[in-house]
Amino acid sequence: MKGKLILEDGTVFYGDLLNDFKATGEVVFNTGMVGYQESLTDPSYCAQILTLTYPLVGNYGIAELFMQSRKSFVAGFVIGDLCTDGSNWHYEKSLAAFLTEQKVPCLYNVDTRAITRHIRAAGTMKGIIVSEKAAKDAADALMATPIRREVVEAVTTPKAYDMECERRGAPFVVAMDFGVKQNILDSMHRKGFRLKVVPAHTTAEEVLAMNPDGVFLSNGPGDPADVPEIAAEIKKLFGKKPIFGICLGHQLIAIAMGAKTYKLKFGHRGTNQPVKDLRTGKVQISAQNHGFAVDAASLEGLPLAVTHVNVNDGTVEGMRHKELPIFSVQYHPEAAPGPDDNMYLFEEFRAMLEKGE
């Protein structure tokens, strides 16, 4: 079946539809050459139509081992070549079967690099995936459908759960799940943390009642300004427990401190973003997936010091409180594209907790 991606500005890209599902969402792109399953199941892509720049997708299939959440939350998937024969010793099913099972609309045989060039020039925008013969009024109605904003509520864990650690004296951390990737939790667990993962709207009082050694604030989808109630709860934790935030967690720390965030023109999504640690001058390669950033100017006068910046555009990639044991990064240290450039951040958090800072 022939289909098309229609962008909000009227630009149309044609391809083939894998299934008869329709989609509406913010159209974004990822520049990674591998990791399509991790991207498809990363909750940070909730309500977005994900476009991959690398042309060959599906060549190693799908395996439960690489799921980053309980399901795929993407609104739609746009790719070049859809490979139906996966070659991988972990292979369990084809990408096509997974997309159909997850009810993810997929448009393939598309020039995704042309889409990327367009978005880079015009900025991220809304789009829809429909059949080529879709009636204009039906397409107009789909385009008029608002993009879901309650995305954190959609992706967070419905109930708290534990990840025990056999390591004696393991620091106990409450991980607030705003759309956490499984690999983040696994990385922390391997580094010797005992975790209790809790829903996004768990109150500060409930967190403190668990008496953790520290609190972790996860990545997640959407505009941080859409969840002021979560930022308000985070603010109540300042000075009570050491805190480490990643991505959305990083942005929410900034908002809770009185800073502002803003929407990037086309976001940072990929596995090759260079980040400079201003404390050491060292540059590390990072994986990133975010459409918003902390406004550096809004940090002036606040007790937050910028510790990391993006080498490409100078945006804030890390912060540390000048007095309290609170730090955060905008990027994803667990994805390890370097391959292990940024795992030291989990070690810093553990050392902070073990010192009782």
Clarify whether 229 is annotated catalytic: no
342: which 2 tokens? 């940024």
Q: Which of 26, 38, 317, 334 is catalytic?
A: 334
Task: Please state, in angstroms and rounded to a whole number, the distance separating the CA atoms of residues 57 and 40.
Answer: 12
Helices then strands (H, E): number in the chain? 10, 19
Total residues found in the chain within this entry: 357
Q: Which of 189, 290, 308, 332 is catalytic?
A: 332
Closest CA relative to residue 270, chosen from 285, 284, 282: 285
Clarify whether 334 is annotated catalytic: yes
Q: Which of 189, 247, 268, 317 is catalytic?
A: 247
308: which 2 tokens? 């990391």
Q: Residue 114 gets which letter from DSSP?
A: H
Task: Please state, in angstroms and rounded to a whole number, the distance separating the CA atoms of residues 189 and 62.
Answer: 24
3-state secondary structure of 195: strand
Residue 233 parent element (H or E): helix 228-237
3-state secondary structure of 92: coil
Clarify whether 247 is annotated catalytic: yes
Other C-beta atoms closer than 10 Å to the C-beta of 303 total: 14
Task: Please state, in angstroms and rounded to a whole number, the distance separating the CA atoms of residues 125 and 167.
Answer: 47
Please name every residue paired with 30 in a beta bridge, in sequence order, or none if there are none: 52
196: which 2 tokens? 């209790």
Residue type, 251: Q
CB 37 within 8 A of CB 144: no
Pairing of strands 2-7, 12-17: antiparallel
Residue 244 parent element (H or E): strand 243-246
107: which 2 tokens? 């448009």
**Which active-site residues does the annotation give?**
247, 332, 334
